Amino acid sequence: MSDLKQKSILVTGGTGSFGKAFSQHALADLDPRRLIIYSRDELKQWELRQQLGDDARVRFFIGDVRDEKRLERAFDGVDVVVHAAAMKQIVTAEYNPSECIQTNVMGAQNVIDAAISSGVKKVIALSTDKASSPINLYGASKLVSDKLFVAANHYAAHSKTRFAVVRYGNVVGSRGSVIPLFRQLAETGVLPITDKRMTRFWITLQQAVEFVCDKLATMHGGELFVPKIPSMRITDLAAALAPDAVLEETGIRPGEKLHEEMISEDDARRGIDTGDSYVILPVHADWGAELPSGQPLPDGFTYRSDTNSEWLSPDDLRQLIEDL
């Protein structure tokens, strides 16, 4: 973390679930010289300002990742960028595909171009398990974004700007999480379950923030970092929140997977195990990258929520939710 001390840090999508948690963590533990919250919603910025209090290190910047000129202005003097802005709702993306592409793909390229132009040292972009073998537009757009950020190291080879990606699964307590819905419906005695076989990766907001900060401090550029996190069964989550409720199967929704995946068999051929995480190495690294070393992943390896070696029980989930 010392690599981030007294640095000027900017987070796009800074008023989202991750952005707010990251900001609180950065101010408390990273000792930044300046923290810039970049987002397009003035009300959410005002609400976050009330939460963070009167901290002279914090700056609020209204802007959209679709606006490269605005990004260049915001990135002026910035050392580190955490790119968390994205259009994330699967159904919304399916109904508004061009809008999803403008934010998740063109916005990613704008962040890359602005970072290189402004001399930002490090950029780390947040990805999702839905970007591995994607079946919906949101996942496909994030896969494109991942590839843009890794390849950006080629464009920045003449400079000190380096790019990396962090990919993780469902976040406990994030905006749109199933937990508030299940708690609300628990009072009715019936919980709608798309498919009782469904499994998901699970990570807390704090764990996600700490993982991103750790990889920011150690990244060299071109890495796609995947944390080792537990899986949970949707039926176990239901049992943790409403043990007496009746489960009503409604069927998998369009664009939804039965099980999630963070590393496909094809990506695993370029993957290594570094102990606390997996790293997918770039196809080409001609910019002279000093990439991490680790144990190569075995042939046929995949990292899927249904074949994971670590699982959360209903008691684990209940304790985790209570801790939140």
Residues catalogued as catalytic: 130
Could you tell me if 152 and 219 are in contact, meaning their C-beta atoms sit under 8 angstroms apart?
no
Q: Cβ atoms within 10 A of the Cβ of 125, count?
A: 28
Query: How open is the CA angle 309-213-159, to the nearest 5 degrees?
Result: 120
Dist. CA 213–CA 199, nearest whole Å:
27
As a whole number of angstroms, the distance between CA 228 and CA 71 comes to: 33
- H/E element holding 164? strand 162-166
The closest alpha carbon to 306, from 201, 194, 195, belongs to 201
Closest CA to 63 of 116, 14, 108, 125: 14
Q: How far is CA 166 from CA 154, 181, 225, 314, in A?
A: 19, 27, 5, 28
Q: Which two tokens stand for residue 304?
A: 């899927």
For residues 184-200, one letter each, b for 16 or more C-beta atoms within 10 angstroms of the residue's C-beta and e for the rest, the string is ebbeeeebebebeebbb
